Amino acid sequence: MRFAALLLSLLALSIAPARSADIASPDDTARFLAGLPPSPGSPLVALTKDSSWQQHANYFNSIFGQEDRNHLAKVRAFSKARLTATHDTMLYFFSGPDALHALALFPNATTYVLAGLEPPGNIPPLTSLPRGTVTYTLHALENDLHTLLSLSFFITKNMRSQLSSGPVYGTLPVIYVFLARSGKTIHETKFVNIDNDGNERAADETGVKTNAKGVKITFSAGEGPMQTMYYFSTNLANDGVKTSGFLAFCEKLGAADSFVKSASYLLHSGNFSTVRNFMLDHSATILQDDSGIPVKYFDRKKWELQPFGRYYVPISIFAQHYQPQMSEVFGRGHAIPIDFGLGYRWRTNESNLLLAQKTVEPKPEAKPN
């Protein structure tokens, strides 16, 4: 009888949900997934004793170390030297979970808004998952990040399948890894929606229709000021973005610095003219590779264009998007070399960036008395 009672008690414990004391903080969860040690009192410390996590940590230490030395340090140096008039808001449309470049290029933004089709996903308490599932999650993250860290961009079709399976899925775990590996401390994570008027609403709020579902992460660099990163899963094509409230939400954030890379040349299409026009109207600065807004849409009376790197014919699957006007901008002899690769032409000395800065209209001169 006693044995039966003990067995029932143990069974109940094995299927019971994790207690609040067993649920790790967002920051410890991010650090664990990133292969960094969680805080000493975290319930995740026990999982770091597993050889699978230790191998994961060694692998991430290696590849992120290489990434920082060979790429991110150069991107940060470019940002410090060339992006000197930044703003509080940073918009990164067609980003997927690429928080890494958002943080490296615009480290001082107060609010980041990333957007793509991939779902925000979820991270259940890792202590509630079987050890095998945790190991699978770590291996999946290694596979998810391989392309970005090797080529500087995600392959869209691969990302959609890789980010959709398992209990830990979506863009959130990848963003967590990038925040942790960028030296950030995560303070709070909330799931949010945008209503049709562009207002932020709690994800569990009833009666709210939304076509923009997202996650809101509050973080800081050590003891530095609080920063916020949003990621929204939303359709940025004309038929979706006109009714989602997403652009109304972005408009409320004020003048922004926008970044575009490896965006499948969607902004070259008439199907994305609404987002293209929004960026031109509401951005103070636009930094992009040639997959961003075509040069012909920049009014030279309103924008100063500074090319960086070299402009080549786009890779074969996007060859139809070659821009003669872009070639002219780069061919005038004013392009400044860059020492890192970015975008589809990811090899050093083959990449291009265009910095477009909106000019300030001169004040009218005072009339003589």
Q: pLDDT tens digits for 96-132?
A: 999 999 999 999 999 999 999 999 999 999 999 999 9
Region of 207 please: left (phi>0), alpha (psi -120 to 50) or beta: left
Domain membership of residue 68 (yes or no) is: yes
Read off the pLDDT band of 208 (50, 70, 90): confident
What is the full DSSP assignment across 74-104?
A: HHHHHHHHH--S--SEEEEET-TT-HHHHHH
Helices (H) and strands (E) in the chain, counts: 12, 10
Average pLDDT over residues 151-180: 73
Through-space distance between the first and last CA atoms of the chain, rounded to whole angstroms: 106
Burial of residue 88 (CB within 10 Å: 0-12, 13-18, 19+) is middle
The pLDDT assigned to 163 comes to 57
pLDDT tens by residue, 254-271: 999 999 999 999 999 999
- The pLDDT of residue 106 is 98
Is residue 366 domain-resident? no
Mean pLDDT confidence for 14-21: 40
Identify whether the C-beta of residue 309 lies closer than 8 Å to the C-beta of residue 343. Answer: no
**Where residue 298 falls among pLDDT bands split at 50, 70, 90?**
very high
Measured CA to CA, the distance from residue 257 to residue 285 in angstroms comes to 5
Mean of the pLDDT values across residues 205-220?
Answer: 92
Is residue 263 in a domain? no
Does residue 296 fall inside a structural domain? no
Whole-number Å distance between alpha carbons of 138 and 222 = 25
The CA distance from 236 to 169, in Å, is 22
Is 337 among the domain residues?
A: no
pLDDT above 60 for 35: yes
Mean pLDDT, range 325-331, rounded to an integer? 93
354: phi then psi, degrees, rounded to nearest 5 = -125, 125
pLDDT of 346 > 70? The answer is yes
Contact 253, 266 (CB under 8 A): no
| Total structural domains within the chain | 1
Alpha-carbon gap, residue 329 to 351, rounded angstroms? 15
| CA nearest neighbour of 61 among 180, 143, 153 | 180
- The domain in which residue 163 lies consists of 23-254
295, part of any domain = no
Which residues make Cβ contacts (< 8 Å) with residue 73, sequence separation at least 6? none
pLDDT at 345: 87
CA dist 335 to 116, 216, 315, 347, Å?
30, 37, 21, 17
What is the spatial distance between Cα 242 and Cα 223, in angstroms, rounded to a whole number? 39
Whether 50 maps to a domain, the answer reads yes
Sign of the torsion formed by the C-alpha atoms of 270, 272, 275 and 280: negative
pLDDT band of 73, cuts 50, 70, 90: very high
Inside any domain, residue 143: yes
